[in-house]
């Protein structure tokens, strides 16, 4: 696949923004922990980010159709850049008495991020030919996962010789470059319908999900997968490493690393064999779900650390083999004009359910045992596989709607 200019600018701009997001989150968590000495207060950073992104997903449809998608994406990045520099200056004089102001800033940054994510996914079909969508999604996913796998580690290293404030200034530079790159992409034609009331605009994506059979199934898939995925958050995985595997905390990093490696290998497979996947989208989505379910159940029963790494690799691999074809189905299931509101609705499901289910899974881990919650996760993914298998005929590309 030959990358065109717009897709390359979009990918590079968002990649720099994603790198900055990880680094600034690391710096903020570090600054708050140093200031308060409280892990509980520090844990409110990801909670604040998730909550703000959920609210953003609900409200973004109000802007779709009124603001050019390109400028909605670029504008949100410019807004994040301004807020980040405010955060940088704020860290100079922050104290225990006013550290709560940091949460106000990171909440607004996350709000703008929640607006940007569905727009980025919506723009890909505008810049890529239908027959190249699987490869484009594969490339975007590969870059995203590499960033996630590497930058948390690098961010921690940066803090050895940089202060949190200096790291924020570094991120500010990345955000400026990202803003410029996103301003350079071409505007897309986004047809608007007749003016609607605000509530109708907010409900538009949800109506599309409800009225489109394959999207209705994907919404349920996201619901069950989000609940299942919460067992992989640090708080729960740490307990599994200590209690089930009986090894020290560094194995949490190893398991995370092999999981991301599996995601990357799955992306590479999709990039290399797009024609095979294109002809068998439903099969790949089912195999990915079934494989992830089976391996997660084996993971819950396993006590051998090395085997846990192999299973984690397999979960990432099968998960990505499912996710990339599923993205392609979403992008071709409705018109491009409807995609943005569809993605914001799916994003709201993901962020909203994640926050609640993280708490529930933590409680269940205490009540039922750490192995049980991983078993529950595997069974929930099996439900996803069942949904895909029963509706396999729906999981196809509909290029004529492009």
* Whether pLDDT at 198 is above 70: no
* Residues 9-40: tens digit of each pLDDT: 999 999 999 999 888 888 887 888 788 776 66
Which residue matches tokens 């990918």? 11
Can you give the pTM of this predicted structure? 0.80
Q: Is-contact 293 379, C-beta < 8 A?
A: yes
Average pLDDT over residues 101-105: 89
Bigger pLDDT: 225 vs 26: 225
Query: What is d(CA 10, CA 186) in angstroms, rounded to the nearest whole number?
Result: 10
* Model confidence pLDDT, tens digit, residues 362-373: 888 889 988 999
Helix (H, G, I), strand (E, B) or coil at 273: coil
Residue 204 — pLDDT band, cuts 50, 70, 90? confident
Question: What is the chain's mean pLDDT, rounded?
Answer: 85
Task: Please give the full DSSP string across 315-382, using - where no structure is assigned.
Answer: HHHHHHHHHHHHHHHHHHHS-HHHHHHHHHHHHHHHHHHHHHHHHHHHHHHHHH-HHHHHHHHHHHHH
Residues with Cβ within 8 Å of 75's Cβ and at least 6 positions away in sequence, in order, are 67
Fold held by 5-187:
Growth Hormone; Chain: A; (1.20.1250)
Question: What pLDDT does 321 receive?
Answer: 93
Q: What is the pLDDT of residues 268-317, one digit of tens each?
A: 998 898 889 988 889 999 999 999 999 999 999 999 999 999 999 999 99
pLDDT at 401: 46
What percentage of the chain exceeds 70 in pLDDT?
A: 92
pLDDT at 59: 82
pLDDT at 149: 74
Higher pLDDT, 234 or 58: 58
Domain ranges of the chain: 5-187, 200-401
Query: Is the pLDDT at 382 greater than 80, yes or no?
Result: yes
Task: Say how far apart CA 21 and CA 147 lie, in whole Å.
Answer: 10
Judge whether residue 195 has pLDDT over 70: no
The answer for 247, left when phi > 0, alpha when psi is -120 to 50, beta otherwise, is beta
- pLDDT over 90 (residue 193): no
- What is d(CA 165, CA 235) in angstroms, rounded to the nearest whole number? 27
**Closest Cα to residue 205, out of 195, 215, 220, 197?**
215
DSSP assignment letter at 241: I
**For residue 191, what pLDDT band results from cuts at 50, 70 and 90?**
low
Give residue-wise pLDDT tens across range 153-183: 677 778 778 888 888 999 999 999 999 999 9
Tell me, what's the pLDDT at 40? 63
The pLDDT value recorded for residue 197 is 67
Enumerate residues 6+ apart whose C-beta is below 8 A from 217.
Answer: 387, 388, 391, 394
Determine contact, residues 217/387, Cβ cutoff 8 Å: yes
Architecture of domain 200-401: Up-down Bundle (1.20)
Q: How far apart are CA 37 and CA 58, in angstroms?
A: 34
16 C-beta neighbours (distance < 10 Å), count: 23
Is residue 196 very low, low, confident or very high in pLDDT (cuts 50, 70, 90)?
A: low
pLDDT (0 to 100) of residue 402: 44
Please compute the mean of the pLDDT values over residues 248-273 and round it to a whole number: 85
Low-confidence winner among 106-120, 320-334, 388-402 (lowest mean pLDDT): 388-402
């Amino acid at each position: 696949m030959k990358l065109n200019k717009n897709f390359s600018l979009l990918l590079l701009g968002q990649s720099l923004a994603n790198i900055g997001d990880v680094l600034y989150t690391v710096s903020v968590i570090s600054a708050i922990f140093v200031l308060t000495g409280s892990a509980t207060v520090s844990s409110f950073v990801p909670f604040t980010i998730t909550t703000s992104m959920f609210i953003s997903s609900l409200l973004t449809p109000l802007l779709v159709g009124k603001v050019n998608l390109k400028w909605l994406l670029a504008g949100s990045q410019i807004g994040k850049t301004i807020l980040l520099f405010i955060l940088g200056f704020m860290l100079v004089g922050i104290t225990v008495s006013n550290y709560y102001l940091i949460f106000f800033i990171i909440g607004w940054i996350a709000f703008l991020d929640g607006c940007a994510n569905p727009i980025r996914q919506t723009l890909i079909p505008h810049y890529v030919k239908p027959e190249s969508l699987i490869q484009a999604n594969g490339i975007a996913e590969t870059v995203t996962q590499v960033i996630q796998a590497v930058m948390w580690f690098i961010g921690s290293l940066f803090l050895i010789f940089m202060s949190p404030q200096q790291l924020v200034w570094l991120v500010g530079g990345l955000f400026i470059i990202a803003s410029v790159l996103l301003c350079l992409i071409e505007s897309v034609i986004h047809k608007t319908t007749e003016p609607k009331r605000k509530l109708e605009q907010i409900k538009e994506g949800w109506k599309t999900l409800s009225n489109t059979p394959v999207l209705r199934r994907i919404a349920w898939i996201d619901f069950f997968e989000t609940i299942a995925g919460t067992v992989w958050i640090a708080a729960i995985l740490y307990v599994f490493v200590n209690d089930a595997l009986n090894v020290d905390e560094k194995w949490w990093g190893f398991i995370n690393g092999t999981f991301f490696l599996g995601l990357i290998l799955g992306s590479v497979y999709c990039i290399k064999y797009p024609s095979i996947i294109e002809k068998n989208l439903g099969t790949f989505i089912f195999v990915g779900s079934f494989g992830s379910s089976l391996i997660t159940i084996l993971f819950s029963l396993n006590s051998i650390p090395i085997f846990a790494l192999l299973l984690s690799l397999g979960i990432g691999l099968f998960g990505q083999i499912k996710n990339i074809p599923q993205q392609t189905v979403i992008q071709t299931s409705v018109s491009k004009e409807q995609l943005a509101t569809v993605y914001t609705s799916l994003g709201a499901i993901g962020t909203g359910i994640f926050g609640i289910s993280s708490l529930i899974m933590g409680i269940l881990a205490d009540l039922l045992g750490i192995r049980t919650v991983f078993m529950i996760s595997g069974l929930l993914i099996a439900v996803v596989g069942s949904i895909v298998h029963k509706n396999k005929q729906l999981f196809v590309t509909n290029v004529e709607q492009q």
